[in-house]
Structure 1
């Protein structure tokens, strides 16, 4: 896709997330990698009412060069892009179920949502660590996210919400959606000692689907 098509797709996918309750108000932000930089949702914007022409454009060094002022959480996206060469897009949401899991004190911080379904493993991967709490917009969060993202396609920010990467914009959005459904399922069954996918089954999924 060219840049104009990418702008349109970003707004369409963001509006779909908003309409289905994955974000509320001005919560959440999305970015996508371009050949010459990045597109990002503007600060204080609603994912349900984005204008393709007003999306923030950043250069390859994450400097704002066009459009409205970018989200204050540019550093969160930069951490993923610099940690993962395969990241073509990054989605940060405050989706209810995943955020609920990020608030639980008794989950495994290296894998708070266990491998319950193949679709979670296929979309999100083997690991999804919890990054310790930082206040929203605190740039001190960047090195912690960068360290976690080096071997994980998604992280949970403690008491804040998920950050998910994908090879393409559509991949990242689908992964964020699958993560929310996995979190919902986990909260439903966690008290009942659910059957998990085995390590061999997880390996098979990753070998087959990447």
Structure 2
């Protein structure tokens, strides 16, 4: 099996795993990954994460021209914005995960640091997550908003919509976006309680020890 064929299978396998566990439903969510030749594989528009076909993934060459597969997701501007601004991005995942969307609706959320410091893992895997305003689905302005961050964030939360995460590869991106959802769920569970968050000193120690990108 070629490296690209393995990548196609991995994309579909991980997408189905997220679908089966309720992290995104129906035909929501989209996923992409860099191919060995510098192109992209992208989930097609209107498809379910539970039923992606490896042979029908949208295929782009290194110059951004579609050369195979079905029509890509309408959220392509989000994906290309991350690839164009983050040289380390090897994959991008966007979900409509319930708890992260719910947390984006809360009035106390910090727009510059979306997730509260409840556990070390979101800090280690995501750094600071930027909460972006609401955009109409498919609006190219979402990509413009990501570009405006100049590559300083690996993850954003689209208000009333869902998270978008870039990682070094498909597995890393999926693991990180699941950590984002888990932390948002914890935030919802702890809302109204006097939860003991990580201190600023503990956060700084994590950032230093694990060499976390921490945009200040």
Q: Smaller-chain TM-score range?
A: over 0.9
Aligned residues: 209
Unmatched runs of 5 consecutive residues or more in structure 2: 212-216
1:115 corresponds, among 111, 117, 120, to 117
Residues 106 and 100 of structure 1, relative CA distance in 2, 3 Å threshold: same
Is the contact made by 1:41 and 1:55 (CA closer than 8 Å) also made in structure 2? yes
CA deviation profile, 1:15-42 (whole Å, cap 9, x unmatched): 0000000111100000011233111100
Structure 2 partner of 1:7: 8
| Alpha-carbon displacement from aligned partner over 1:149-189 (angstroms, at most 9, x marks no partner) | 62111100011010011111100000011111100000111
Rounded to whole Å, the distance in 2 between the matches of 1:78 and 1:156 is 16
Q: Which moved more, 1:129-138 or 1:192-201?
A: 192-201
Q: Distance in 2 between matches of 1:62 and 1:93?
A: 23
TM superposition score normalised by structure 2: 0.92
- CA contact under 8 A between 1:121 and 1:205: conserved in structure 2? yes
Q: Could you state the TM-score of these two structures normalised by the residue count of structure 1?
A: 0.94
Distance in 1 (alpha carbons) for counterparts of 2:125 and 2:53: 28
Give the secondary-structure state (helix, strand or coil) at the position aligned to 1:192. Answer: coil
Q: 1:136 Cα deviation (Å)? A: 0.3
User: Residue in 2 aligned with 1:96?
Assistant: 98
| 2:197 equivalent to 1:196 | yes
Q: Distance in 1 between matches of 2:205 and 2:67?
A: 44
Q: Does the CA contact (< 8 Å) of 1:128 and 1:153 recur in 2?
A: yes
1: CA distance, partners of 2:172 / 2:135? 27
C-alpha root-mean-square deviation of aligned residues, in Å? Answer: 1.4
| 1:112 Cα deviation from its structure 2 partner | 2.1
Distance, in Å, in 1 between the alignment partners of 2:96 and 2:182 is 13
The 3-state SS of whatever aligns with 1:39 is strand
Taking the aligned partners of 2:74 and 2:61, their CA distance within structure 1 comes to: 16
The SS at the match of 1:31 is strand
